[in-house]
């Protein structure tokens, strides 16, 4: 009896260690998927998700709901986004049965030449464009993106769409623990930037978790946008305040830069991965890196290797290194550089890259240009409506609250996306006036047999293409459900592109979340990989899937953040 008792005890302990206390699904899953009939929203904040559902219930479209959620996130999660930043989106139009892409990224000041930029950088005793202050500010494209998307796909008036965010800005909302954490970091880093303390602190302090935060200045700005559309932001009082404040503090953005800004409707591009079509927007973003990665991995027996095996991880890391060399060399504003998109996302190119991977050794890579994209924060959201429309939308300031420069009385900060330009002669992403910088934020979309299947994204600098490809392999190769695919342990390789002229001698570093087998990690080390751990590097996932068999929507959200998926 004593022996039987000990055996039962060991089994019980083993089940607990392996997650056997979970009734269904993978042991690492934090929760189940969300199901609903009429609509679904997945965002990084519960109140933003609720705002999206409020708009859907009022008869709004998926685009209306996405704008409402984004406006709330700019208020509630300013550490990742806001109307001082940029926006990209992919929209499935159920009537046309077609995908539409929108590049809402802003351009550099037209009055600032490369020569003058180099002088400014040298005067700051730096070698690259700085992260903060007025120099890295490019024209914010978010509001133009809202109005362009709303003009084509909106149903409700824009002021109604923005009403939830305006209400929360006036009445206040409780700050969550994670956002409070990042807000405090921003307050330390950006305290000396013009207007920051007045806009984002009270008596010099960032809000604590649970503290009620209001932003009446932002409410007034959103009201102007709601009543006047894009002109309420890019013309008149708001535009004048932005431009004059930037110039007062040594920057170059003018009212002409703001008024002339227009985003771009653009056709998404795709590749097939095991007969499923994966869609991304072409550069100046990094979306095609997802397609390159998947093309390489398609030639390997990923399913046979198994999730989290040494073979799986090693080949994925090596594929990423090769793809990111393409990224550093070629990805840039296509109005200034002839990016060979078709060739880069071709199966032939993938075959060549795949043949460069040594199954028994981690490779060292040679730098191809500056690309400081292992940092940064963003918000991603997805919405679907009862008509079958789906929106994949991503929006960001780049580094947390961006440049830290906050024009007084407006309630938001301006992005520092211009930091991502390089100053190296001949480089595709070299700074130029009126140019869009290389961009990290990428919305994802997947179709099956010409029908919409998945609207998803994973925010977080250089993490994004790696994590998007990782999630898709989880779904397609390993049969995980929508929530499990995001909850599964992630890896992120850091360091493929170092500052100009350097050579990688150690192959970068592999950051691993907990959950990978110790024997696998040991084998990776033997193959030559440097293993590390970096909190906050693994991104934020949101996803909405169409279950055509049952006629329902499926939602999933990031367990590492304040994610919340809900439907109605």
User: Which residues are identified as catalytic?
Assistant: 378
Q: How far apart are CA 538 and CA 489, in angstroms?
A: 9
Closest residue by Cα to residue 258 from 146, 157, 142: 142
Q: Name residue 272's beta-bridge partners.
A: 277
Contact present, 414 and 366 (Cβ < 8 Å): no
Q: Which residue carries 């559902």 as its tokens?
A: 53
Contact present, 63 and 149 (Cβ < 8 Å): yes
CB atoms near residue 275 (< 10 Å): 8
Here the tokens at position 311 are 């073979």
Helix 518-526 vs helix 310-330: crossing angle, to nearest 10: 50
Dihedral of CA 84/213/238/264: which sign?
A: positive
Distances in Å between the alpha carbon of 508 and those of 434, 449, 541? 34, 39, 24
Burial-class residue 528 by CB neighbours within 10 Å (0-12, 13-18, 19+). middle
Contact present, 437 and 222 (Cβ < 8 Å): no
- HSE value, Cβ hemisphere, 13 Å, CA-based, for 51: 33
**Do strands 531-532 and 509-512 pair parallel, antiparallel, or not at all (unpaired)?**
parallel
Q: How far apart are CA 135 and CA 54, in angstroms?
A: 39
Helix 310-330 vs helix 463-476: crossing angle, to nearest 10: 140
Question: In 405-520, which ranges are E strands?
Answer: 444-448, 451-459, 491-494, 509-512
Residue 316 backbone phi and psi in degrees, to 5: -65, -45
Distances in Å between the alpha carbon of 434 and those of 19, 109, 206, 252, 416? 54, 6, 35, 12, 15
Q: What is the dihedral of CA 105, 106, 112, 118, to 10 degrees?
A: -30
């Amino acid at each position: 009896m004593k022996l039987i008792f000990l055996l039962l005890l060991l089994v019980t302990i083993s089940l607990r260690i392996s997650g056997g206390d979970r009734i269904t699904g993978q042991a690492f899953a934090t929760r189940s998927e969300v199901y609903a009939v009429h609509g679904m929203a997945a965002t990084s904040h519960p109140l933003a998700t609720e705002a999206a559902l409020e708009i859907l219930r009022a008869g709004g479209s998926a685009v209306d709901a996405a704008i409402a959620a984004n406006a709330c996130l700019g208020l509630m999660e300013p550490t990742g986004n806001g109307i001082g930043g940029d926006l990209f989106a992919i929209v499935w139009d159920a009537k046309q049965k077609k995908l539409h892409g929108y590049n809402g990224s802003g351009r550099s000041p037209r009055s600032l030449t490369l020569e003058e930029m180099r002088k400014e950088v040298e005067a700051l005793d730096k070698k690259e464009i700085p992260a903060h202050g007025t120099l890295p500010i490019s024209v914010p494209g978010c509001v133009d993106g809202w109005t362009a998307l709303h003009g084509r796909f909106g149903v409700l008036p824009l002021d109604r769409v923005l009403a939830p965010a305006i209400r929360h800005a006036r009445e206040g909302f409780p700050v969550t623990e994670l956002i409070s954490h990042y807000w405090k970091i921003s307050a330390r880093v950006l305290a000396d930037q013009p207007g920051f303390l007045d806009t984002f602190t009270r008596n010099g302090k960032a809000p604590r978790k649970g503290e009620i935060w209001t932003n009446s200045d932002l409410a007034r700005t959103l009201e102007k946008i709601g009543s006047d559309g894009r002109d309420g932001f890019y013309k008149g009082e708001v535009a004048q305040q932005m431009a004059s404040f930037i110039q007062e503090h040594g920057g170059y953005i003018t009212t002409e830069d703001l008024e002339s800004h227009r985003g771009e409707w653009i056709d998404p591009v795709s590749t097939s991965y095991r007969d499923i079509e994966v869609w991304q927007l072409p550069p100046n973003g990094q979306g095609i890196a997802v397609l390159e990665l998947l093309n390489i991995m398609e030639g390997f027996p990923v399913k046979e290797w198994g999730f989290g095996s040494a073979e799986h991880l090693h080949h994925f890391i090596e594929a990423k290194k090769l793809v990111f060399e393409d990224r550093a060399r070629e990805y840039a504003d296509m109005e200034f550089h002839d990016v060979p998109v078709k060739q880069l996302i071709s199966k032939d190119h993938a075959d060549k890259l795949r043949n460069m991977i040594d199954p028994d050794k981690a490779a060292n890579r040679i730098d191809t240009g500056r690309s400081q994209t292992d940092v940064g924060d963003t918000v991603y959201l997805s919405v679907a409506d009862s008509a079958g429309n789906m929106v994949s939308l991503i929006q960001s300031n780049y580094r947390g609250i961006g440049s830290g420069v906050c024009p007084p009385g407006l309630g938001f900060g301006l992005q520092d996306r211009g930091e991502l330009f390089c100053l190296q002669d001949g480089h595709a992403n070299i700074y130029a006036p009126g140019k869009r910088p290389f961009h990290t934020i990428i919305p994802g979309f997947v179709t099956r047999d010409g029908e919409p299947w998945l609207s998803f994204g994973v925010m977080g600098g250089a993490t994004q293409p790696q994590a998007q490809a990782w999630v898709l392999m989880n779904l397609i190769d390993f049969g995980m459900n929508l929530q499990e695919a995001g909850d599964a342990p992630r890896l992120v390789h850091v360091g493929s592109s170092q500052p100009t002229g350097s050579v990688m001698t150690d192959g970068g570093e592999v950051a691993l979340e907990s959950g990978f087998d110790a024997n696998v990690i040991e084998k990776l080390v033997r193959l030559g990989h440097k293993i590390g751990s970096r909190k906050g590097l693994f991104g934020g996932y949101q996803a909405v899937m169409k279950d055509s068999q049952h006629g329902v929507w499926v939602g999933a959200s990031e367990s590492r953040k304040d994610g919340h998926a809900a439907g109605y």
